[in-house]
Amino acid sequence: MKIIIDAMGGDYAPDAVVAGVVDAVSQFDVRIALIGIQDKVEAQLKKHSYRPDKIEILHAPEVVGMEEPAITPVRKKRQSSISLGINYLKEGKYDAFISAGNTGAVVAASTLTLGMIPGVERPAIGLCVPSLKGPSFLIDVGANTDPKPTHLIQSALMARVYAKAVLKRANPSVGLLNIGTEETKGTGLEKETYKMMAEQVPNFIGNVEFNEVYMGKSDCIICDGYAGNLVIKVSAGLMEAAGQLIKREVKKDFFAILGAMLMKSRLEHIKKLVDYSEYGGAPLLGVNGIVMISHGRSSAKAIKNAIRATMHEVELNILGAMSKL
């Protein structure tokens, strides 16, 4: 299996990306092409030891910044790691593309270069989120902030394929994220989507209210990209703030420090459940290729886990399964 990874993507690139790749190839049966500015990638690679047949470098002289418009790799920076990487993927010599770079740019370049799979009009980013009953698949977390009901139906059907293959749910249930639990709640978009889902989506269980996201009410939770982005970012910010608050409070008190030490292994287990870097990546679904979006703040560990998750998608032939929506 051969995966291309954007060496220039993410806040800690190329250092964290290269470190994660070196770690991944030592553990997994995969070959990686690091795409980016050759000198910079080589300089990082030299710091590590690795089997040279497992890692190659593809040169891409341009870099898309985290804040540049989404259309940049397609319109202006055609020699960027995102643009060239997705082109290589399209040519078929590689199995997947991973980037922790500018999400909008990856979405736009993937959509325009790879095209969509049959039956899907718009891409959507999914993310496995923890819940009291094991992971749920939340989709869309930021690709399409202004979808039509048909787009949400298509996301729901893709989510079911994903949850079946990756989360091993026999008949994945689907919920619609909404401001209330009743059928009549929400904006025009949600009301229309509710009706269509009830008719077209198997195992549709109705609305999932905002405060039920982490309750495990359904295997898949469908929403527009604006709401989904808000859910994951507010949640990440809250966990970050709560973590800082707990540290600050615990430090004030010797017994609390001792208590925290005794709880350490359990707290670490919980941290693992909610830590984005354990999941590593968010699949971009709907495009005609396997593209994984990794968190902008990805650490080496997150990159390694994104590679593992991507390998899993390739092995399970997610793209093939999606083509029978």
Q: Rule CB under 8 A: which residues touch a second copy? A: 67, 130-132, 145-146, 179-180, 182, 187, 209-215, 226-227, 229-231, 233-242, 244-246, 249-250, 252-253, 255-256, 258-267, 269-270, 273-274
Beta-carbon contacts of residue 35 (< 8 Å; ≥ 6 apart): 4, 5, 6, 7, 8, 57, 58, 59, 60, 81, 84, 85, 88
- DSSP state for residue 211 in the 8-state scheme: G
Whichever of 29 and 67 has its CB closer to a second copy, that residue is 67
Q: How far is the CB of 192 from a second copy (least distance, A)?
A: 16
Q: How far is the CB of 297 from a second copy (least distance, A)?
A: 10
Whichever of 43 and 263 has its CB closer to a second copy, that residue is 263
Whichever of 216 and 325 has its CB closer to a second copy, that residue is 216
d(CA 236, CA 58): 34
Residue 258 has, within 13 A of its CA and on its CB side, a CA count of 3
Q: How far is the CB of 102 from a second copy (least distance, A)?
A: 11
For CA atoms 92, 93, 95, 99, give the dihedral sign.
negative
Paired residues of 282 in beta bridges:
293
User: Could you tell me where the DSSP H helices lie in 116-253?
Assistant: 149-165, 188-200, 225-250
Cis peptide before 135 (omega within 30 of 0): no
Whichever of 253 and 315 has its CB closer to a second copy, that residue is 253
Whichever of 47 and 247 has its CB closer to a second copy, that residue is 247
Q: How far is the CB of 109 from a second copy (least distance, A)?
A: 19
Q: How far is the CB of 70 from a second copy (least distance, A)?
A: 12
